[in-house]
Amino acid sequence: AAGVIQSPRHLIKEKRETATLKCYPIPRHDTVYWYQQGPGQDPQFLISFYEKMQSDKGSIPDRFSAQQFSDYHSELNMSSLELGDSALYFCASSRLAGGYEQYFGPGTRLTVT
Amino acid sequence: GENVEQHPSTLSVQEGDSAVIKCTYSDSASNYFPWYKQELGKRPQLIIDIRSNVGEKKDQRIAVTLNKTAKHFSLHITETQPEDSAVYFCAASWGVGLTGGGNKLTFGTGTQLKVEL
């Protein structure tokens, strides 16, 4: 079965640079969620989109922005990167009409040096 | 907002024994409680979930129980095997199929389960 796809899988950036993370949800899934997971931490919700509209917002810094496109893929844009942004970034998708289950992608490991 | 507490933070059991992980939540509006298994550097993997209209759910060696009154839910793993070793996260959300929001997961702090031979 098709799963959530994330790219790139690894990303190394320097402080103050920008990064763009991409997420391709499971086919026919209409909702995308972004989570940030620091080392030894639980995933923290950042932002979500339903049918290309922002549906919820969590602890996402103002330096970050995201959107969902007409093909349902989503991009997380991160600017003025800080050392503390180093983390695993997961995208998850679900189909609202199909239930509440969220399925996670393999994640993007972002390292800021 | 929702707050989820999880205990214990580490759990070591012998192969074949049972393991129990407990979580409590604060928001009485939460109605969906999934459990995820995460191996080091890998994605959280949904292993079982329960909705607030059900008290217990079982899938082979894994079961989850929910006590809405006390606002706590538990994961039970029987006949543990070395491949069960991982970090387990409980989570809660209040999504009721809302199109305008909800469904974001609030996670517990995780339990490192180690199954020893």
pLDDT tens across A63-111, in order?
999 999 999 999 999 999 999 999 999 999 998 765 678 999 999 999 9
Q: Indicate if the pLDDT at residue B95 is higher than 70.
A: no
A107 neighbourhood in chain B, CB within 8 Å? 42-43
Compute the mean pLDDT over every residue in chain A, rounded to the nearest whole number: 94
Which of A102, A104, A110, A111 best probes binding to B when mutated, by most B CB atoms within 10 angstroms? A102
A96 neighbourhood in chain B, CB within 8 Å? 97-99, 103
A48 and chain B in contact, CB less than 8 A: yes
Q: What is the pLDDT of residue B54?
A: 85
In A1-113 the beta strands, taken as DSSP E runs, fall at 5-7, 10-13, 19-24, 31-37, 44-50, 53-57, 64-68, 74-78, 87-94, 103-104, 108-112
Average the pLDDT over B85-92 and give the result. Answer: 98
Residue in A with minimal Cα distance to B49: A101
A43 and chain B in contact, CB less than 8 A: yes
- Flag if A33 and B104 touch (Cβ within 8 Å): yes
A48 neighbourhood in chain B, CB within 8 Å? 101, 103-104
A75 and chain B in contact, CB less than 8 A: no
Q: What is the pLDDT of residue B82?
A: 96
Q: What is the pLDDT of residue B86?
A: 98
Residue in A with minimal Cα distance to B31: A100
A58 neighbourhood in chain B, CB within 8 Å? 104
- Let me know: does B87 contact B19? Beta carbons within 8 Å: no
pLDDT tens across B13-65, in order?
999 999 999 999 999 989 999 999 999 999 999 999 999 888 999 999 999 99
Q: Positive or negative CA dihedral for A97, A58, B27, B8?
A: positive
pLDDT band at A59 (very low <50, low <70, confident <90, very high): confident
- Flag if B103 and A101 touch (Cβ within 8 Å): no
Q: Indicate if the pLDDT at residue A19 is higher than 70.
A: yes
Q: Cα separations (Å) of A77 from A21, A61, A102?
A: 7, 11, 22
